[in-house]
Structure 1
Amino acid sequence: MADQNSNPALTYDRIKLNVGGKLFETTVSTLRSGGPDSLLAALSNRPFHRDSNPIFIDRDPEIFSVLLSLLRSNRLPSAALRRFSIQELTDEALFYGVESRLRSASSPSPLSGIDASIVDTVRPAADAVPSTFSAAEDGSLWIAHGGQISLYDSYLSYSTAVRTHLDDITSICRVWPDIAAIGSESSSGLHFYNLSSGHYTGSVHWTDPSDPRLYKARVSAVAHSPDLVFAAFDCPHKENGVIVIDKSTLQVSSELTRQSGTAAKNTVAGKLRWLPATGLVLGSTVTSGAFGYSGYIRIWDPRSKTIVWETNEPGSGRSSRFGDPFADVDVDIDDLTLFKICSKSGDLAMADLRSLGEDPWVYITDTNPSMRDTSYAGNSVVLHCYQRQVFVGKDGGLEVWSGEKGLNGTVSSRRQIPESQDQSHEVFLRRNYVDKVENAERGIIKRIEGGGERLFVSREDMEGIEVWESSHYSGAVSVS
C-alpha cells in the first residue's frame, strides 16, 4: 500500500489554514459545506497533502473561528452575538461566501406566539420614542421617530436614517420594497420617500375644487395592493374619506368613500387592510368616550366603489353581545377571518369573511378554564393577526390565541355545535400569556406587527421597539 506522504499529488482529507496568524485545522468536507461557490470551497480544491504548508488568509481569526463552528454544526456559538455584531459576522461571511449559511443559522425559529419572548429592543439612533413602525416579510424594520425613519435590515442591524420634511410621522406603509408612504397628524397629505436613496418622490393631497371644505386633509391609515394605494384622509372639520391612488402615477384615481364625520359611525378609518384573496378593502375605527367604545367595520369593493358589508357597534349593527362593543379589529388575510376584541369582557370573536351576515360573530372559548381573564378593565387594547395567530395587547400584557396543530401542520380549531340554533357556535382555541409579569410592567402596548419570524411591539413612552422571537429550543424540557 502506497504511503500518502510519498505522493504529493495525493490529496489529504484534512486541511490547515492560517487566518490572521492563527492556525486552524479542519476537513475538506467542512469547508465545502459552505457551498460550491464559496471561497472556502475553492481553497479546498487546491492540491495539498499531509505536509502542505497552511493556506494563509489575511482576515480576523476570531470571527473565522465563529464561521468555522457554523460550518461544523450549522449553529452559531452561543457567545458569538455577544462578542461580535451581526454586521461584523455578515461582512466576514460575505468574504468567505458563506453568507447564506449565516443567514439561515441566525434567522429566528418559526414564530410560535406561545413560546415567544423578548430577545432584543431596537432603538433608533436618536434614542427617540417611536411614533410608528413597519415590518417587512423578511423581518426587516422601519422605525419612524419624529420626522425621521431609521432602517434596520433582516438581521436588525442599523442601515441608515432618512430625514423627511415632516415634523412627525404617524402613518407608514411599504408600498414597494424601498418606497414608504407616510402621513402625519400635524401635516396634510400623503408623502412618498425612497428610503434606499433618501429621496422624496412625491405627495398626494385630498382635494375637490367643488367642495372648498376639503383642505389640509391629514392621513390616518394607509394600505396598498400591487397597483393601488388606499389612504384614509381626515379634514380639520371631520369630513373624511378613503382615497384610491394609482401607484404608477402617484395620482388620485378615485374616492372610495366620503363621510361627514358627524357621528361615531362616520369617523375616519383608523385601520385599512387590503384583502388579496378578494380584492376588497377593509376599514375600521374605534372611538372611546364617557359612554364607552363605539366604532364600525366596513368592507368596500374598490372596483365598484360600493360597500360590501358593514356593522356598527353600538348602533345599527346587531350583535349577540350587544352592550359589549369591540375595542379593536383585525383580519387574518390567509384564512379570511375577521377578529374583534370586546371592550368590556375582553372576549375574542371571529367571523368568516366569506359568509358575513347580520350577526356573523362566533365567540371563542379558551380550552383552559384557568386562563380565563376575569379582571379585564378595557383600558387599552391592541389586536393583530399574524401567521394564523391572534396577538392581543391588553394594557401592558400580551397574549396569543392559536389553534391546535394537526398531523399535517395546519392550524385547526374545535367547534361545539349547540343544541339550540339561536345560540352562537363556540370556537375552542388555545390561549396563552406570552409575556412575564416584568414584561407587562414595561408600559402600555400601542402597536403590534409581525415580520418574518418575529413579532414587534411598541409601548407608550418607551424608547425602541421590542423584538419577540420563539426559542430554537422551544421543544426542550428544562430540568433543574
Structure 2
Amino acid sequence: MGIQKDRIRLNVGGKIFETTVTTLANAGRNSLFGAMFDDNWNFQFNNSDEYFIDRNPDCFAVLLDLLRTGELCIPANIPEKLLCREALFYGLLDHIRSAKWGQFDGNRLRHSKSVMGRAPGDGTAIRAGPDGGCCVAHGSMVHVYDWMLEEHPPIHLDYQRVNDVGWIDPGNIVISACERLGRGDGGMGLFSSSTGELRSKFQVTHDNQVKSYTAGALGFSSDYRIFASCKGRSNEYGIGVWDQITGKQIDFFYEPSGWSLGDADKLQWLQGTNCLMVATWFPRKDNCYISLLDFREKRMVWSWSDMGAPVTADGRRVRDAIAMEENSSICVVNEYEGLGFMDLRSRAASVRWSSRSRLMEGKMPDEACYPKLALHEGQLFSSMNDSISVFCGPDWVLTSRLRRSYGGSICDFSIGGDRLFALHSEENVFDIWETPSPPII
C-alpha cells in the first residue's frame, strides 16, 4: 500500500475518527477504502494529516464499528435506510448484509417479513436478485425491490403479458413477453432495475430479417449468455442465444420435429457439461419433454418424454424439473409422489420416484398451485401448496419445512442474495425467509 503508517485520522462531516489502515482494509478492495489505499490511487493527506470525507458522521461511526468487530449495532436514532445509503457510498452493503443474517441454510431459515399488495391473483414469477432484492412479475407488470425491500418504479410493458424475468446483475433485469398479433412489440428486453427504463431489445434474425417473436422461459450462463425459448410466425421456433454485454444474437437452436422448444417452461444452463436443459410440461403441452441441448454440435444429447407412458387416473404429471450435475441426474416433481430422479448417464431414462422424499400426505386442495423446484448450495427445495420442503443428503431426505399461516398456495419461489422469496397466490403477498445471524459471543 502507498500508506506506510498504520494509524490514520479521518474527518467525516466535521467529526474526527482515528483508526488503522488494517481496520479499513477489512472493507475489501472493492470499497472506497480499498481504492484509497491502492498503490495506483493518488491518496493525499491535508496539512493536519487528516483525510476529509463529506458524509454523515453518525452513520460512519456505525460502519467503522462494523469493520472493527464484524457486528452491526444500529442506534435507535439512525434510520436503517439512511445507514444503507451511506454504506452504499462506502461500498459496504455486503458487510451489512453479512452482519444482518447468516450464511444461507434451508434448515435454519426463519420468516422475516411479508410484503403485501403485489401480484394480485395472477402472479407469473418471483425472482431473487443477486444482492438480496427481488422482482415480482404479474400480468404486464414487473415490481422491483432492492435488498432493503424498498420498491423501485415498476416496469410496465403496455399490455404485453410477461412470461419470465431474470437478473443480469443488481442493476439490470431481462424480461420476456408475448408478441401481440400484428404489433411486433413482444420478445425480450433489458431494463434498469432502479428506473424501469428500457435499455435494449434482443432481436431474432432469420434469413437476414428481424422477426417478431414471443419469448418464453429464460436461462443464463456464467459466460454472459442469455437463452430464451422463442416462438415466431414462420420458422423461428426454438432456443435463441444472446450476448449479455452486446445484446447481439449469437446463436439459435431450431426446433426439431416432435419437440416443443419454443414453448419451453424452463431453461437451465449446465456449466460442467456445457449443455442447456430445456423442459416443457403439461398443461402447456399434452406431454412432458425434457432434453439437453449441446450448442457446439447443434444436437440433443439426452432426452426424455412421458409420451406413451401411462398416466394415472388423477392426471398426475411432471410439473417441474431441475438438473443436478454433481449427481448426474434430473429431479422432477408431481403433485403426489413427491420427488423423482432420472439418470443423465442412461439414454433410456425413466423416473425413479423416491419414497423418502414424499412432499405431503392426503388430498390436494381444489385450487393448488403447481409445485416448483430449486437447488441451492447442496440443498433441494420443493414447494407444495402453502409450504416449501427442504431435502438434504445423498438420498434427499426431508429435513425441514417452511410454512406460513396465511397467503394461500405458493405459486413460485426463488433463492438468491442469501434469501428465499415465496410468492403466494391468494392473499396478494410474498414472504421473505432469512437465516438468522450467528449469536454474539
TM-score by length of 1: 0.67
> Deviation of residue 352 (structure 1)?
4.1
1:272 to 261, 267, 271: 267
1:395 to 362, 375, 385: 385
2:329 paired with 1:340: no
> Deviation of residue 306 (structure 1)?
2.0
Secondary structure (helix, strand or coil) at the match of 1:113 reads coil
1:302-381 map, 5 Å = 302-313=295-306, 315-316=307-308, 325-333=317-325, 336-345=328-337, 347-353=338-344, 355-359=345-349, 361-366=351-356, 373-375=360-362, 377=364, 379-380=368-369, 381=371
Distance 2:426 2:97 in 1: 34
User: 2:288·2:305 contact (CA, 8 Å) conserved in 1?
Assistant: yes
> Deviation of residue 372 (structure 1)?
7.1
Secondary structure (helix, strand or coil) at the match of 1:114 reads coil
Change (3 A) 1:72 1:45: farther
Secondary structure (helix, strand or coil) at the match of 1:219 reads strand
1:25-64 map, 5 Å = 28=19, 33-35=23-25, 38=33, 63-64=59-60
- 2:215 equivalent in structure 1: 219
- 2:437 equivalent in structure 1: 472
Change (3 A) 1:316 1:56: closer
User: 2:59·2:78 contact (CA, 8 Å) conserved in 1?
Assistant: no
- 1:286 equivalent in structure 2: 281
2:203 paired with 1:204: yes
Distance 2:402 2:113 in 1: 15
Distance 2:318 2:434 in 1: 28
2:90 paired with 1:90: no
State the number of aligned residues.
Answer: 409
- 2:227 equivalent in structure 1: 230
Change (3 A) 1:301 1:18: closer
Secondary structure (helix, strand or coil) at the match of 2:190 reads strand
- 2:70 equivalent in structure 1: 74
Give the percent of matched residue pairs that are identical in Structure 1 and Structure 2. 19
Change (3 A) 1:435 1:349: same
- 1:243 equivalent in structure 2: 239
User: 1:166·1:184 contact (CA, 8 Å) conserved in 2?
Assistant: no
User: 1:260·1:267 contact (CA, 8 Å) conserved in 2?
Assistant: no
2:421 paired with 1:456: yes
Change (3 A) 1:444 1:309: same
Distance 1:467 1:392 in 2: 16
User: 1:139·1:453 contact (CA, 8 Å) conserved in 2?
Assistant: yes
> Deviation of residue 335 (structure 1)?
5.0
Change (3 A) 1:273 1:72: closer
Distance 1:430 1:62 in 2: 46
Please, which runs of 5 or more residues in structure 1 have no aligned partner? Answer: 1-12, 49-54, 404-412, 414-426
CA offsets, 1:116-154, max 9 Å, x none?
Answer: 122234568999975434334343433445544444445
**Higher mean displacement: 31-40 or 164-173:** 31-40
Distance 2:348 2:273 in 1: 20
Distance 1:137 1:394 in 2: 25
2:252 paired with 1:254: yes
Secondary structure (helix, strand or coil) at the match of 1:373 reads coil
Change (3 A) 1:259 1:442: farther
Change (3 A) 1:200 1:308: same
1:181 to 165, 168, 174: 174
> Deviation of residue 470 (structure 1)?
1.0
Change (3 A) 1:16 1:295: closer
Distance 1:305 1:58 in 2: 57
CA offsets, 1:164-204, max 9 Å, x none?
Answer: 45544221234576554322246364222242672342243
Secondary structure (helix, strand or coil) at the match of 1:103 reads helix
CA offsets, 1:251-292, max 9 Å, x none?
Answer: 47433314568xxx8882111112121121111122149xx9
Distance 2:232 2:11 in 1: 68
Please, which runs of 5 or more residues in structure 2 have no aligned partner? Answer: 1-6, 27-31, 38-42
TM-score by length of 2: 0.72
User: 2:118·2:136 contact (CA, 8 Å) conserved in 1?
Assistant: no
Change (3 A) 1:328 1:18: closer
Distance 2:291 2:160 in 1: 32
Change (3 A) 1:450 1:303: same
- Given residue 75 of structure 1, which amino acid in structure 2 is its aligned partner? E
Secondary structure (helix, strand or coil) at the match of 2:288 reads strand
User: 1:364·1:429 contact (CA, 8 Å) conserved in 2?
Assistant: no
